[in-house]
Chain A
Amino acid sequence: MSLLMPLPEQAIMARREELIARLRAILPAANVIADETARRAYECDALVMYRALPLVVALPETVAQVSAIMALAQEMSVKVVPRGAGTSLSGGALPLEDGILLGMSKFNRILEVDFENRCARVQPGVQNLAISKAVEYAGFYYAPDPSSQIACTIGGNVGENAGGVHCLKYGLTTNNILGLEMVLMGGEVLRLGGKHLDSELYDLMGLMTGSEGLLGVVTEVTVRLLQKPVSARGLLLAFPTVEAGARCVGAIIAHGIIPGGLEMMDAATIGAVENFQPCGYPLDAGAIVIVELDGTPAEVDHLVAVVESIARDEGATQTRVSQNEAERLRFWAGRKNAFPAVSCIGPDYLCMDGTIPRGRLPEVLTRMDGLAKFHGLRVANVFHAGDGNLHPLILYDASKEGDIERAEKLGADILRLCVEVGGVLTGEHGVGVEKRDLMGEMFDETDLAQQQRVKCAFDPQHRLNPGKVFPTLHRCAELGMMHVQSGKLPFPELPRF
């Protein structure tokens, strides 16, 4: 809990009553939450170890209200933290004691479904899964499916560039949205994209996606809809070791097959899952790989046979192919239960989210094991194997003195290891506050300064969600300074052509 957030500005805290009164002039009284008990509900997101009581919670219902709040915040120099469903695993929606917590939960309507253009316009507070539910009668769905999809909202998905188990084949949020409406700090409303593809000039929609609520507040999203594959089958493959499983994953891709889903679990996780709710995973396996193949039945049957033969060649000790939909879902059930299952043996866990080049997996696992032993903790591993995204679950006991700190130190060591082998700190959970102070492992000062200059183009006073993503905040004026020296153009006209 050594996290340093921007110090609350006393001058702002002192003007709290004025701020509340002015928010009440913008919003219905019930949508301005000032009472401490009610504000407590917003004190953290899914990264529960960090908490802060927001100065006030505002729940706008219209774009005009969002705009007015952002203009007011700018005028009064008050910080704003946007929040969707609060499912962030990296503390992206952690409130500030001197800031407005802007809850977007009332933006919960699907505005338009346009099957002919294969898209839907939705408000940011609509749950991810609700979009697919609303269009499934016509055979469509929205592809990105983060594990939290029953709760998380599309606005938050844009903020974090959410992925899911199907993103190797179907892409992340950034590949599945067509348009955004957003409000800048200060209240300007912008529309980016629409129902057409690839707007000219800078791709600000792409930039907004994954910007963790630091650049603007999303007020509408146009998402792409895909037709559901006519059939899907699963394979459950058991291997003696994680290395063998990883080799099989590489071989499947080398054969030119991009499965709809490609997941792996290690022995510790298999044990936890079978202990939690048995679903028939082989307890003697060193790793299991779940493969999902989708498409027309002829294609799926063909690919199932190919994958089965690859798996045997790679030394699978067991290959099971789902014979019906119930069996396919059973293969997935254990994977979907993995996190709660692990928390039963934990009793607490910290979920990491690094991504590595898949070929480095055996080495990373061995070294991770060493790190865990060094810190005296255990780690269970769940992987999005197709794309190299690791979710090491660090087991600890919050009631034990010093265990949280040890878990955090191990987590940081694991992420440093991911970067060292050519990977990244976070594949899908975001930097937020959790990985903020590790950004220097991946980027140098110049890289980070350039990212912050982009922030300055949107929010020059650092009022929108400050304290997240960047380890140190530099003033925009300072970042904009440039020193130019010498004036001779070098190496002209080399006779190279």
Chain B
Amino acid sequence: MRLTPRDEADVAEAIRAALARDAPLSIEGHGSKAALGRAVAHEHVLSLVGLSGVTLYEPQELVLTARAGTPLREIVALLDAQNQQLAFEPMDHAALLGGARDDATIGGVIAVNASGPRRIKAGAARDHLLGFRSVTGRGEIVKSGGRVMKNVTGYDLSKLVAGSYGTLAALTELTLKVLPKAETEETLLLSSLGAEKGLAALRKASGSPYEVSSLAYDPQGDAAALRLEGPPISVTTRRDDLARFLADFGGATSVLAADESRAFWSRLRDAEPIAGEGVIWRVSLAPTDGFAFVERLRGADAPLIAHFYDWAGGLVWLRLETAADAHATVIRAIVYALGGHATLIRADADIRARVDVFHPQPSALASLTRRVKEAFDPRFILERGRLRAEF
């Protein structure tokens, strides 16, 4: 059954009714991320599309409030008209998960803590959520945070709900920090360095004073890409300074002008270079470990089809041949040794029901995580099983 509340009070009523019947709810916006996380098939879906609309936007104050079901494209268009943006650059999952492009809601973006190539400079969704309203798994309306940039009044529950996949509370309204768009951008490309040297160049650039906002290496094309954003005069000088700063690495240098640069990074943001048949993983590591991770994976004979590195090597996107465990055992063993976490982004539902989609935690941390879930949703009524089989 699909429940379509009209407002927050309806959401509370729906959750209280679900509690009384012990009927777990999935929470959905437009469903663009329904295939993320462990595979669960709940009979009842709580759709938040009825809670839509921007309720506050003050460009000079850098703040925007929207109901959870507001289409992301609506928010982006509104910001665009004022030369502002969501600086965390949420990825679009359509290239990997199918479905229509550009069909996310802001609630879903926050619920998965989405981010993009600019993460290394601007942060993830978590860093831009100033406050929220929600209905918890207890059926209670709870708010936290506020609409101002600086706020330490009470626990920062915004951090908890960002990335919680709807397992703590159904978000009803979100208040976000928005930022000016850069006047222009360019991308410096260093080609023919090979992965190891290309990644070393990215790390060197990340420690430079030239404010590089994105750093990626794509093996197809053997290109290390460095994005510079800002006023034109600044972008041009930084680009030249950066090219000189990295001259020792050699390789062929080229530049993507503004439009090409935007297209390049939006393709990477949406992980298009690895789109195709197979299972898909997203691995977050220390930047220096990205290359070692892929080498070890190759050494373990994992059937790697495509991959690329973002975040100066700290984020590795992988596509492999499908397998009964989606290669979780071998991937997790390598990540365990290096430190970091690996998330299974795409695999058949039967695999995602069996295999840990999210990285396993040590037992003390796993117990605490469960207690936090219980603090919001003691009956596991919201998205039961989405994050962990136990809750």
Residues in A lying within 8 Å of B, measured CB to CB? 114-118, 139-140, 160-161, 163, 167-168, 171-172, 174-175, 184, 188-192, 194-207, 209-211, 227-230, 250-251, 253-258, 295-296, 298-299, 302-303, 355-359, 384, 386-389, 422-431, 435, 439, 442-443, 446-448, 450-451, 453-458, 469, 480, 482, 484-494, 496-497
* Segment among B89-97, B301-309, B319-327, B368-376 that sits at the interface with chain A: B368-376
A sample of 22 inter-chain contacts (CB < 8 A) reads A116-B288, A171-B127, A172-B150, A196-B340, A198-B119, A200-B358, A201-B388, A202-B163, A203-B126, A205-B159, A211-B156, A230-B209, A296-B237, A355-B146, A389-B149, A431-B153, A451-B155, A454-B160, A489-B21, A490-B3, A490-B14, A491-B6
B251 interface contact, C-beta 8 A? no
Residues of B within 8 A of A204 (CB): 160, 365, 368-369, 372
Q: Could you tell me if A303 and B231 are in contact, using CB atoms closer than 8 angstroms?
A: yes
Taking a contact as CB atoms under 8 Å apart, the answer to whether A487 and B17 are in contact is yes
Interface-forming stretch among B101-109, B134-142, B265-273? Answer: B134-142
Complex alpha-carbon distance, A442 and B362, angstroms? 37
A422 and B126 contact, CB distance less than 8 A: no
Q: How many residues of B contact A (CB 8 A)?
A: 110
Whether B4 and A424, one on each chain, are in contact in the complex, defined by CB atoms closer than 8 angstroms, is: no
Q: Is B257 in contact with chain A by the CB < 8 A criterion? A: no
A256/B83 contact (C-beta < 8 A), A227-B207, A469-B154 known: yes
A210-B155 in contact (CB<8A): yes
Complex CA–CA separation, A174 to B181 (angstroms): 23
Asked if residues A198 and B143 are in contact (CB atoms below 8 Å), the reply is: no
When distances are taken between beta carbons in the complex, the residues of chain A under 8 Å from B120 are 197
If the complex has contacts A227-B209, A295-B234, A454-B375, are A200 and B341 also in contact, measured as CB distance less than 8 A? Answer: yes
Closest residue of chain B to A119, judged by CB?
B286
Pairwise interchain contact A198-B233, C-beta atoms closer than 8 A: no
Query: Knowing that A211-B155, A480-B374, A490-B17 are A-B contacts, what are 12 other residue pairs whose CB atoms are under 8 Å apart, sorted by A's residue number?
Result: A196-B314, A211-B156, A355-B149, A386-B149, A389-B150, A424-B151, A446-B142, A482-B138, A482-B378, A486-B20, A490-B3, A492-B2
Number of A-B contacts (CB under 8 A): 316
Query: Is B179 an interface position by the 8 A CB rule?
Result: yes
Chain B residues 3 to 56 lying within 8 A of chain A, measured CB to CB, are 3-6, 10, 13-14, 16-21, 23, 44, 49-50
Question: Chain B's nearest CB lies how many Å from the CB of A245?
Answer: 14
Alpha-carbon separation in the docked complex, A10 to B218 (Å): 66
* Residue from A161, A302, A480 within 8 A of B233 (CB atoms): A302
Interfacial chain B residues near A258, Cβ < 8 Å: 179-180
Known contacts A184-B368, A431-B154: A197-B237 contact under CB 8 Å: no
Which residue of chain B lies nearest to A303 when distances are taken between CB atoms in the complex? B231
Q: A223 → chain B, closest Cβ, in Å? A: 14
Contact of A424 with B153 at beta-carbon distance under 8 Å, contacts A204-B368, A443-B143, A489-B21 already known: yes
Q: Please determine whether B17 and A117 come into contact, CB atoms closer than 8 angstroms.
A: no
Cross-chain contact A207 with B155 (CB below 8 angstroms): yes
CB-CB under 8 A from B162, the residues of chain A are 203, 206
The 3 closest A-B pairs by CB, nearest first: A206-B159, A299-B234, A256-B180
- The answer to whether A453 and B150 touch across the interface, beta carbons within 8 angstroms, is no
